[in-house]
Structure 1
Amino acid sequence: MILNPPTGLHMLDWDMLARLSSAAVLGLLLGVDRELRDMPAGMRTHGLICFSAAFVTVAALALYYQMGGLESNIDPLRVIEGTAAFTGIIAAGLIVVNKGEVKHLTTAAHVWLATVIGIACGAGLWPLVAFGAIVAVIMLTLLGVFEKRVLRQFRAERAPDDKIEDRAETPSPQIKKGRDIP
C-alpha cells in the first residue's frame, strides 16, 4: 500500500495551532448561549463540532498540498462538503416536532453555524471567522434579549384580543335532531 509521506511533529506550527484553537474557543463561546438556556447541544457539543470541522478542513488542505496541490486531482472541497452534510444530519436529529410545535430549531441552526465557523477557522479565513462570530453573537444573544423583553411583552398584550377572536370564529357544536344524546 502506498501512503502519503507522514508529517512529523516538527511541522506543528503556530498557524495550524491558531486555526484549531480559535475554532475550539469560538465553538465553546457559541455553545454558551445554548447552555444558559438549558437547551440540547451546549458548550461541549458546539466546541467539539467547531473544532472537528476546523480539524477536517486543516487536514484536507494539508493533504491537498502534500499530494501536489493544483497538479493533483484531489479536491479538498469534497471533504469540507462532507463535513457540512454530516453536520446537517446531526442538526436535523436535534429538531423535534410535537403536537404541531417545532422545538430546537435554533439549536440545530446553531450547530450548523458552529460547523461553518470551524471550516472557516480551518481554512484560515480570519475576516470571515471574525464577521461570522460577531453576527452569531448578535443574532443569538442580543436578539434573544430582544425576543424576551420586547416580543413577549407585545405578544402578551395581544393575547387576550386574539383569544376573543378565536372564540368568535370557532363554530359551536350542533345537536342533530332525532337522536338521543346520553
Structure 2
Amino acid sequence: MRSGNARFVAGEPLYPRQDVDRRHELAHAQTPIATLFGCADSRLAAELIFDKGLGDLFVVRNAGQVISDSVVGSLEYAVAVLEVPLIVVLGHDSCGAVRAAIDSTRSDAPELPAHIWRLIAPIVPAVRRVQRASRLSETADIDAERVGREHLHDTIAELLHSSELISAAVEDGRLGIVGANYRLAEGTAVPHFTVGVAVDA
C-alpha cells in the first residue's frame, strides 16, 4: 500500500488489476490483501490513493471513521472469512465530521439533526481531551488535526474493545492494525501508530 500511495503522490499510478480479465477472475471469490476503514469523504477513494485494483482492498467507510455495530461486523467478516492480515484505519485533515464535533461543543452551538449528532458524538471525547490539554475555555481555536489524531487512537481502541475476534487476531499475530492520516493536498497517507504485526500489503 505504501508503494501504491507513493505512485499516486508522484502522479504515476499504474491502475493495476482493473481490466476485464481481473473482473472475471473475481466473479466468484475475493482475496483482498488488506482492509481499509476510513472516512467517507469523497476525496479518500481508497483504491485511487493506494493505486490498487479490483479485489485488492476490502473497504468500509463512514463519515469520520466512527465505530458502529455495522462497521465492527464488516471488519470481523474481513478478518474471519477473508483472512486479511491488515486493517488500515484512515483519517484525514480537514475532516468535516471532526469539525462538526468541535463546533457542536460550542456554548452557542445549534442543535444538530439526531442522526448526525449520533454519528459525531464518539468524536466529542477527543475534542474535550484536546480542549483540556490546550487549556481552552472554548473550542473555537482548537487544533482540528490534533483532535483527528486523538479520534484515530480512540477508533482503534474502541474496535479492539468491541471485537473479541479482532483483538484475538492481533494477539495471535494474525492481524496488524495501522492508524494513518491522509493529507489531502499532498496525497500522502502517513502512518501514526501500529497495533500488532503490520504486514506491508
Task: Give the alignment's TM-score, normalised by structure 1.
Answer: 0.27
More strand by share: 2
Larger Rg: 1
Q: Give TM-score scaled by structure 2 length.
A: 0.25
Specify which structure has the higher proportion of helix: 1
